[in-house]
Amino acid sequence: MRSPEYIMASKEVKNNSMNEELFAQCIKNAEGDEQRAQAMYVQRRISELKIGQIENLDQREKWPMLLPLLALYTIGTIGVLLLVFGFLGNKLNWW
C-alpha cells in the first residue's frame, strides 16, 4: 500500500507540476538520467511532505502532553509539602 505522500509526489511528476529547482538538482545528481531523476525527486518530495506533517503534529500535541505533567507536578508538590509539615508538626508538637 502506497503512502499519501508517495501518491502526491507521483502525481506531481505525471502532471509536470514539479518544483523546478528540486528537479534540476535531481537531474544534476542523476547525471542527466531523467527516470532516475524522477525517482530521486519522488523520494525527496516524500521526505519534505513527511517533515511538514511532523511539525504539525508537534504543534497539536504540545498541550495534551503538558497538562498531565502539570497535574502530576502539582499533586506531587502538595504531597511533599503535606509530608514535610506533617513530620515537623508531629516532631514539634504543633497539634
Higher pLDDT, 57 or 17: 17
Our separate counts of H helices and E strands in the chain read: 3, 0
List the domain range (segments joined by +) for residue 64.
4-91
CA–CA distance, 23 with 51 (Å, rounded to integer): 19
How many domains, in total, are found in the chain? 1
- In this prediction, residues 24-52 reach a mean pLDDT of 84
Q: Which among 31-40, 47-56, 81-90 has the top mean pLDDT?
A: 81-90
